[in-house]
A and B are shown apart, each in its own frame.
Chain A
Amino acid sequence: MKKLKIGDLEKIRDKVRRTAVLRQGKARAKVTVHMGTCGIAAGARDVLTGLLKDIRKKKLDDVIVTTSGCAGLCSREPMATVEITGKPPVKYVDLTPEKMRKILERHIVKGDIVNEYALAIGSERTH
Chain B
Amino acid sequence: MEDLSLHILDIIENSVAAGATNIEIVIEEDIVGNLLLIKINDDGRGMDKETLTKSIDPFYTTKGTRRVGLGLSMLAQATKEAAGSLDVRSKPGKGTRITARFVYDHIDRKPLGNMAETITTCIAGSSPKADFKYRHRKGDQEFIFSTKEIKKRLNGVAINDPEIILFLREQIEEGLQAIQKGAKSEEIKDWRFGKNT
Contacts and interface: CB of A to CB of B under 8 A. Distances in A.
Interface in A1-30: 1-6, 8-10, 12-13, 15-17, 20, 23-24
A123 interface: no
A40 interface: yes
What's the dominant secondary structure at chain A's contact region?
helix
B166 interface: yes
Nearest to B184: A1
A38 B156 CA distance: 34
B163 interface: yes
Contact of B121 (A20, A24, A35, A72): A35
Contacts of B169: 49
A75 to B, nearest CB: 10
Interface string A30-67: 00010111101100010011001101100000010111
Size category of the binding interface on chain A: 35 or more
A17 to B, nearest CB: 5
A127 interface: yes
B75 to A, nearest CB: 10
A16 B164 contact: yes
A29 to B, nearest CB: 13
Contacts of A72: 65-66
Nearest to A14: B157
A40 B13 contact: yes
A52 B164 CA distance: 10
Contact of A56 (B10, B65, B153, B163): B163
Contacts of B164: 12-13, 16
Contacts of A87: none
A37 B161 contact: no
A56 B16 contact: no
A94 B3 CA distance: 21
Contacts of A41: 1, 6, 10
A10 B65 contact: no
A74 interface: yes
Q: Of B162, B164, B197, which is in contact with the most chain A CB atoms at under 10 Å from its CB?
A: B162
Contacts of B118: 45
Interface of A: 1-6, 8-10, 12-13, 15-17, 20, 23-24, 33, 35-38, 40-41, 45, 48-49, 52-53, 55-56, 63, 65-72, 74, 125, 127
18 contacts: A6-B153, A13-B155, A13-B157, A16-B157, A37-B69, A37-B70, A49-B117, A49-B120, A56-B163, A65-B124, A65-B162, A66-B160, A67-B125, A67-B126, A69-B63, A70-B63, A125-B65, A127-B13
Given A5-B171, A23-B158, 7 more contacts: A6-B153, A48-B125, A52-B166, A55-B162, A65-B124, A67-B126, A127-B17
